[in-house]
């Protein structure tokens, strides 16, 4: 029985997935990796699979943080957990209607293009429905790793749910659906 092929790239949501979610964080000193982030990323890198970050940063669009603040936080995430081959940021507020803001597929498609990987051979790992929806809209695989903020309905409709980032990566590396 054959499953889904291993992804050629894995893209991670930032806040709540790779690092502890600090709402509208513009301070690199407040970045704290999630417990399973480093081992999960090591597994992918050992398998030769490039990784990236996708992050909605509506605090920029709302005027709560600057783009330089968001970039400084991303640089700290990259220092602690990287290197990432791509980091994509949507700086828009939810009302802007931009194509990059998750759950829309823009960041997934742009990251896949930058990595030279077809979207359908890309996977997205995140903690909320918008991450799963962005992956689906781009034709990518999705794995939901729930946290305290994940709604039951998001868990119920996610195609794949795993308890930890390590379990999510094990699933993706196994090539099983």
- Per-residue pLDDT, averaged over 103-112, amounts to 98
pLDDT attached to residue 2: 46
Q: Catalytic amino acids? A: 13, 15
Measured distance CA(136)–CA(141) in Å, rounded: 7
- DSSP per position, 76-119: HHHHHH---SEEEEE---GGG--SSSTTSSHHHHHHHHHHT--G
Report, as an integer, the average pLDDT of 16-39: 97
Dump pLDDT digits (tens) for 126-166. 999 999 999 999 999 999 999 999 999 999 999 999 999 99
The CATH number that domain 9-174 falls under is 3.40.50.1000
State the pLDDT confidence band at 176, using cuts at 50, 70 and 90.
low
Q: How far apart are CA 28 and CA 32, in angstroms?
A: 9
Domain ranges of the chain: 9-174
- Whether residue 7 contacts residue 121, with contact meaning beta carbons closer than 8 Å, is answered with yes
């Amino acid at each position: 029985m054959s499953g889904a092929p291993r992804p050629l790239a894995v893209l991670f949501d930032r806040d709540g997935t790779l690092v502890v979610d600090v709402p509208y964080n513009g301070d690199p000193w407040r970045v704290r990796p999630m417990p399973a982030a480093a081992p999960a990323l090591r597994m992918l890198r050992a398998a030769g699979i490039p990784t990236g970050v996708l992050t909605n940063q509506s605090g920029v669009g709302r005027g709560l943080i600057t783009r330089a603040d968001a970039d400084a936080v991303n640089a700290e995430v990259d220092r602690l957990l990287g290197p990432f081959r791509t980091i994509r940021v949507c700086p828009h507020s939810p009302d802007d209607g931009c194509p990059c803001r998750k759950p829309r597929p823009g960041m997934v498609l742009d990251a896949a293009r930058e990595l030279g990987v077809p979207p359908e051979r890309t996977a997205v790992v995140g903690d909320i429905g918008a991450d799963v929806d962005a992956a689906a809209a781009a034709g990518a695989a999705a794995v939901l790793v729930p946290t305290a903020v994940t709604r039951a309905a998001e868990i119920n409709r996610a195609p794949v749910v795993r308890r930890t980032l390590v379990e999510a990566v094990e699933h993706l590396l196994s090539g099983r659906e």
